[in-house]
Chain A
């Protein structure tokens, strides 16, 4: 009986942190702040999906957790590359 309540509290806390990260995306003085905030939102989403699948009592969303982790990494890397070089995919040298 205690489990749903604990899970709900956990969801609430993660939601609040998402809002805080959103504030950082909107306000963040540099682009890097915003990208890091987006990456953190992704990690929070991982946690939220995990909590949700416990709450819904299903294992169908475990793939989603893996995927979010992967994609958040890819997204962050491409943003980082963009910030560093202005392009995401570079041309090969010998072309």
Chain B
């Protein structure tokens, strides 16, 4: 257990201590107490930068060594980038929430406990090398996210959103577990590095594609890719700090992390390239087009998050092509990976600030509806500045960092068309076109967020509160993020060398040791990407100006074809209804139905086994001679049997059953079993007497007096059971491969056990143990009968009520 392990669990330990602090400190806001934790962790992870620029840092702690499950922490460029985002934005969000959540009204101990559990989970996901541990933390993020979304659990929408996100992400998590197990089956290891080290074995395996699909399902559900994006907009019911932290900056990027992490393993396949690129581009397009039609600022931001995640996903998919080149010098597709990592960082900064901005607007005006907002620029100038920087970075305008990553995105999309792998040179043209159209809508919704909120006229009569500028505590975290947006926009190489380069190297391990350097400087050239950006701006302004004309079309017409959320609701409804109806249909509550099921299963399984294994074997050579007496007795039994089945009155049936039992005892006599005959006679008499005893209480036959139908299911089943048992006993008759062991008893009954009655000696001496428990059965039965007759709690209560 190293300090690195402790660093991962530090927020979790804090989460356990929070309730204690919450009780002790009545004056202080709980957030102040927990704030140092993410800050310390952020500083601690900063110290790793020099090490990750050279290689990786590995620490191992055994957990279940016998199963190959060890808690191995590996810090490389990609993990570190995520860890810094998690702890950095975690600090800012904690700080922001101190001012956002009121001390009196909110249950702060719950909030911070959930938030810090989430922080541990997220750090565990990005730092674990062992896939089982990674999966553990992965589910922990789902659960803590569920708790945070349902934080205001008295609201119906919060509970709905929490349940929806849990169902979808846990579905994906279970798929991920399947993929992990498949990889374990192939390689025998749970360690990510070892599995990647055996990439050639994995790629040759027949389980390669199933493992890839399962892992991709996990990544797509977590990162809200189409069609699994439906949970993210509903997760906006969470408090705004949670939305800023989980649903823009960290958790939804876990899927991206997973894809990036598995790229060295799966990039060889065209399925990987096309699945990720196409799902990403469709998500980009659908998210941006849906964002333009939403009224609620948080909903717009949710769909914009979906869209931006799709963009990073596309870049990762295209970047997979980079691994097909042996040397980096002629490899233009590394650009896609750089763009993906860069935009991942950029998106976390500007989207975090935008969510906090929306939280401020909500906090100070009481609404997030863009129809009621407007003209806030003069009243809230600092918030407007934050929003300006965030939205223009999101739209991809200079001089913010979004511009750089958008340029690199376009450049990669243009480059794809020249790729001569996976048929990309023919169908690849789709990617830049869809990406371009999606970016136009990105521009439009970014403008909507800014100008509908801060531009135009103030509508004071529509606002629940009188708006004024937010306190400094609320403004500080988004200001820091906005400063980052501007700084990385103006000086991208500040983070290029320490952060982006190691991250790209960990996606492409072959780059370690080479003199490859990320250098983001070609934003001066007059390239195709720049032209596309001009096109985006011009068309975007046009579309924004004409928004009133085309938005109804998107709002009314398009959604009819793609109602993803409705599809989710309907599938939930029909699954529930379907299983309910199915249960009602199959569980009738009648014992006869269940008996039919059981006997039918018996017939089908037995007959199937007999015919499948060709077990029918009629060898009657060893059968004993049948005497006249046997025929007569069998005939008596058949007559009584038919009488029992067809008799109309119950007492006739009882008498006939008695006659049958006596006849069976004669069979025992003919077969020379006097003890059996004695017992059979006594038991038969007692049963008949018992039948007579309960006779009085039994229902009359008259209510089922209709004639037995010959061709009914029951008849068929009865004949089937009889036939099956008949076939089995005939087939089993001559399959004894060994002699009977009874000769031993015959020889030793008198000499060893001092008895001449061999049956009794077996019962009480050789096999006395069975007899003991048969006695117990009788005792239990008699005690049970006594209890049932004497103990009548229900009736006594009824009498008391009278």
Residues of A in contact with B (beta carbons under 8 Å apart): 8, 11-12, 15, 18-19, 22, 25-26, 31, 34-35, 37-38, 41-42, 45, 48-49, 52-53, 56, 58, 60-61, 63-64, 67-68, 71, 74-75, 78-79, 82, 86-89
Contacts and interface: CB of A to CB of B under 8 A. Distances in A.
The 10 A-B residue pairs whose C-beta atoms are closest, nearest first, are A71-B685, A60-B674, A15-B632, A88-B692, A82-B692, A26-B643, A34-B655, A78-B689, A38-B655, A64-B677
Nearest to A14: B632
Contact of B636 (A19, A56, A61, A63): A19
Contacts of B625: none
B652 A26 contact: yes
A82 B693 CA distance: 9
10 contacts: A11-B629, A12-B632, A22-B639, A25-B659, A26-B639, A41-B659, A45-B662, A63-B678, A78-B688, A79-B655
B677 A75 contact: no
Contacts of A53: 669
B416 interface: no
A71 B674 contact: no
A39 B655 CA distance: 10
Contacts of B669: 49, 52-53, 61, 64
- Tell me the dominant secondary structure on chain B's binding face: helix
A31 B674 contact: no
A67 B696 contact: no
B696 A8 contact: no
A11 to B, nearest CB: 7
Contacts of A31: 651
Given A42-B662, A75-B685, A89 B693 contact: yes
Nearest to B695: A82
B644 to A, nearest CB: 10
A38 B682 contact: no
B685 A56 contact: no
A9 to B, nearest CB: 11
B121 interface: no
Contacts of B658: 38, 75
B123 interface: no
Contacts of A89: 693
A87 B643 contact: no
A15 to B, nearest CB: 5
Contacts of A74: 685, 689
B685 A22 contact: no
A34 B655 CA distance: 7
Contacts of A19: 635-636, 639
Contacts of A25: 643, 652, 655-656, 659
- Interface range, B side: 20 to 34
Interface string B685-706: 1001100110110000000000
B665 to A, nearest CB: 8
Nearest to B643: A26
Interface in B602-653: 628-629, 632, 635-636, 639-640, 643, 647, 651-652
Interface of A is mostly: helix
Interface in B489-513: none
A20 B447 CA distance: 104
A37 B662 CA distance: 13
Given A19-B636, A64-B677, A82-B695, A75 B670 contact: no
B681 interface: yes
Contacts of A79: 655, 692
A56 B640 contact: no
A22 B693 CA distance: 24
A12 B682 CA distance: 26
Given A11-B629, A82-B692, A71 B681 contact: yes
Contacts of B670: 52
A58 B684 CA distance: 24
Given A26-B643, A49-B666, A60-B674, A71 B682 contact: yes
Nearest to B679: A67
B154 interface: no
Contacts of A41: 659, 662
Contacts of A48: 666
A88 B632 CA distance: 33
Nearest to A77: B689
B672 interface: yes
B329 to A, nearest CB: 103
A89 B686 CA distance: 13
A85 B369 CA distance: 86
A68 B663 CA distance: 12
Residue picked from B628, B640, B665, B685, most chain A C-beta under 10 Å: B685
B666 A35 contact: no
B682 A8 contact: no
Contacts of A11: 629
Contacts of A42: 662
A8 B681 contact: no
B696 A87 contact: yes
B756 to A, nearest CB: 11
A56 B669 CA distance: 10
Nearest to A66: B678
A64 B692 contact: no
Contacts of B689: 74-75, 78, 88
A64 B674 contact: yes
Given A48-B666, A61-B674, A38 B659 contact: yes
A34 B644 CA distance: 13
A53 B658 CA distance: 23
B626 to A, nearest CB: 15
Contacts of B665: 45, 64
A87 B628 CA distance: 41
Contacts of A56: 672
Given A71-B685, A88-B693, A22 B674 contact: no
A47 B632 CA distance: 15
Contacts of B684: 71
Given A45-B666, A71-B685, A61 B659 contact: no
A15 B640 CA distance: 14
Contacts of A49: 666, 669
A42 B695 CA distance: 22
A40 to B, nearest CB: 11
Nearest to B668: A64
A8 B662 contact: no
Nearest to A62: B674
A48 to B, nearest CB: 6
A21 B665 CA distance: 18
A79 B692 CA distance: 8
A59 to B, nearest CB: 10
Contacts of B688: 75, 78
Contacts of A61: 669, 674, 677
A8 B629 CA distance: 9
Contacts of B677: 61, 64
A68 B747 CA distance: 32
Given A34-B651, A75-B685, A75-B688, A63 B696 contact: no
Contacts of B655: 25, 34-35, 37-38, 79
Nearest to A60: B674
Nearest to B635: A19
A64 B636 contact: no
Contacts of B682: 67, 71
Contacts of A58: 672
